[in-house]
Amino acid sequence: MNLNLADIKPVEIMPGFHGKLIHTDQISMAFWEVKKGAEVTSHSHMNEQIMHVMEGEFQFTLEGDTKVCHPGDIVIIPPNKLHSGKALTDCKLMDIFCPTREEYR
């Protein structure tokens, strides 16, 4: 199967987080456009997650450790670890989840 990102319609998963989502049987991939000031509250999930900051500055907290992430930064989030984030500027992020984030389908 071949896809083009331009053909995928974005979905607002939470306020200010518009994602183009791709799912397989094992993996979910999300390309986010995040508005400045948008926040994802502290949460955890069973999925392992890799976040890549493509554009902007994103404040990210993992298990109480807060850092500002910049373009090129990659964060690895183990399963069941508390994490949260806030867009300090408009951002573009890419997330990969394993297993698939069924609630995003």
pLDDT of residue 69: 98
56 φ/ψ sector (left φ>0, alpha ψ -120 to 50, else beta): left
pTM metric for this prediction:
0.93
pLDDT of residue 25: 96
Domains of the chain, residue spans: 20-104
Contact residues for 57 (Cβ-Cβ < 8 A; gap 6+): 68, 69, 70, 87, 88, 89, 91
CATH number of the domain located at residue range(s) 20-104 in this protein:
2.60.120.10
Mean pLDDT, all residues of the chain? 97
Quick check: helix, strand or coil at residue 8?
coil
Closest CA to 32 of 55, 62, 3: 55
Query: In this predicted model, what pLDDT tens digit does every residue of 16-29 receive, in sequence order?
Result: 999 999 999 999 99
Query: In this predicted model, what pLDDT tens digit does every residue of 46-102 receive, in sequence order?
Result: 999 999 999 999 999 999 999 999 999 999 999 999 999 999 999 999 999 999 999
Residue 1 has pLDDT above 90, yes or no: no
Query: In this predicted model, what pLDDT tens digit does every residue of 28-54 receive, in sequence order?
Result: 999 999 999 999 999 999 999 999 999
Dihedral, 7, 33, 77, 71 alpha carbons, nearest 10: 110
